[in-house]
Structures are given as C-alpha cells and as structure tokens.
Structure 1
Amino acid sequence: MSDAPPTSPETEARVRASYARQSLMTTLGAELTEVRSGEVTITAPILPLARQQHDVGHAGLAFSIGDTAAGYAALTLMPAEAEVMTVEMKINLLAPASGDRLVAIGRVIRPGRRIMVVAGDVWAETGDQRRHVAMLQGTMIPV
C-alpha cells in the first residue's frame, strides 16, 4: 500500500476520464488501478501483441504504461482545467519483462507550476512473485 495521500473524488474522476480517452492503453489491456495524490498505478497483462522475439514483454509496453502512470501522477497535482503531456522521458531497463502482467507506479518527484519532474517503476508479476524490470524519469508539462 502506498504512503501517498488520497486525492479528491473530483480529481480522481478527472484523471480516470482522461485515461479512458487513451486508445493505446485500451489496446494494451492496461487498467488504471489506483489514483492517489501524486501517485498512480497502472497494470497491464503481457499480451501476445506486446511481446518481443524472446517471448517477454516488449520494452515499449513497459515504457507506455510507465510514462502514462507518471503523467497521470502529475495530473493529480495540476489545476482542474489542465491536461498533461510528456516533455521528456528516460527509461532504464533492469531485467526482462517475463511474467503475467506489468505493474507501473508513477509518482511526482518535484511538482512545479510549469513543469513537474516525475518517476516511474515497472514490475513484472507472476502470481505473488514480483521483479523490478524498469525505471523511468522524466518531465511533464500542463497543457
């Protein structure tokens, strides 16, 4: 369980409505599973369409859900009229994404009025086993 404080019902509804408009997340089978103030969790099965030639999750899957989780973590701290876009994002791949699903937790490192520094961690899970497979760091901007 996270130490991040809960967000308001209005903010959570705004984040979930924005997320629902992302067709890539739908294609990947990804779900927005938790919204807290400055922290968001997204889970995605490792579907056949998101595997690479070694039959593990493609780095693009880890990047997509990690970037999205970090972006929505930033959105939880932005004004109600704002949306969010990634300015830049870096990923370190730590291990092959083998498992049944990936779990990405995005969080705000430093909130700001014009930009927010964010981070994300992605884990591969099978049953109760979890392995850290990627770390992301980037910058988000309100639009």
Structure 2
Amino acid sequence: MDTLTARIHKSFARQSMMATLGAEILHVAEGLVRITAPILPGARQQQGFGHAGLTFSIGDSAAGYAALTVLPPENEVVTAEIKINLLAPARGSRLIATGRVVKPGRRLCVVTAEVHAEEAGTQTLIAVLQGTMVPVPR
C-alpha cells in the first residue's frame, strides 16, 4: 500500500460513523476516492430503499477523502458546505460513492461525488453532491 492510500485508510478507520454503516474504501488515487456501503436493514427508509442519510454520508466522505489526497500530510479536511441532488431511489444491495476534486486549494477544495446503487450487477446513478472542503491542521 502506497503512502497516500495508507494515509487515507488510517484516517477513514477513525470514522466511527463509516464503521457503523459498514462502509469501506474501494479505491484511492490522487483526486479520487471510491467508498462502498451495504444497504443494511437499519439504513432503509419507510419504503425499503436505502435512506438518503446513507447516500449523503458516503458521498460526503468520498468527496472529503478525495480532497485529502491532494493536500499535504499535515492536513485533514472538514466539510464547509455540501449539497445533494437525489436522482433515484437507492434500490439494491449496496451503494458506491465516487468523490472527485474539482479545484484543489490551500484554503478551500471544491469537490463532487456521484453515488450509484448496485442491484444484480447493474449500477444506477442515484445522487450527485457538490461541496467545499476546508483543510485543517491534523
């Protein structure tokens, strides 16, 4: 595991919310992080779909970790603002969030994330997020 990937995994392991959701990192590259989470019985809304809170949580984390990949090792990030557009119900067994850096910066990083639901091997885009991450000292 390279230094960048190890750094992201180490920070991710400290997020108890991601552990509660059963989320895992699938991929790390400069400016891009992919996170997956199962749609567990405790993360569903009243109609049986994955809850928007699950979608938002892994989208926010994927976008935040994408920002962290372009920052110096002495930084972490916090979300200053992020919005979500929910496009379709979260049907399936798991969600996959892909976070990307749109514009890196020392004070602000603009990020996006796409979240797909996977059902029987087919992925459907269910949400897009856009936001701003703020680098903070570790």
Please, what TM-score do these two structures have when normalized by structure 2?
0.97
Q: Which of 72, 78, 85 is the equivalent residue of 2:78? A: 85
Provide structure 1 residue ranges, at least 5 long, that are not aligned to the other structure: 1-7
The structure carrying a bigger strand percent of its residues is 2
Q: Which residue of 2 aligns with 1:3?
A: none
Pairs aligned (count):
136
Q: How far apart, CA to CA, are the structure 2 residues paired with 1:137 and 1:85? A: 14
Q: How far apart, CA to CA, are the structure 1 residues paired with 2:48 and 2:123? A: 18
Q: Which amino acid aligns with 1:19?
A: F
1:71-96 Cα distance to aligned partner (Å, 9 max, x none): 00000000110011100000000000
Q: Which of 38, 56, 61 is the equivalent residue of 2:31? A: 38
3-state SS of paired residue (1:12): helix
Task: Kindly report which structure 2 residues correspond to 1:17-56, keeping only aligned pairs within 5 A, or say none.
Answer: 17-56=10-49
Structure 1 segments, 4+ long, off by >6 Å, are: none
1:45-92 Cα distance to aligned partner (Å, 9 max, x none): 000110000000000000000000000000000011001110000000
Q: Which residue of 1 aligns with 2:65?
A: 72
Q: How far apart, CA to CA, are the structure 2 residues paired with 1:63 and 1:114? A: 23
Q: Which of 91, 95, 113 is the equivalent residue of 2:106? A: 113
Q: How far apart, CA to CA, are the structure 1 residues paired with 2:122 and 2:4? A: 32
Q: How far apart, CA to CA, are the structure 2 residues paired with 1:80 and 1:11? A: 9
Please, what TM-score do these two structures have when normalized by structure 1?
0.93
Q: How far apart, CA to CA, are the structure 2 residues paired with 1:91 and 1:106? A: 13
Q: Which of 61, 64, 75 is the equivalent residue of 2:54? A: 61
Q: Which residue of 1 aligns with 2:7?
A: 14
Q: Which of 127, 130, 133 is the equivalent residue of 1:137? A: 130
Q: Which residue of 2 aligns with 1:128?
A: 121
Q: Which residue of 2 aligns with 1:5?
A: none
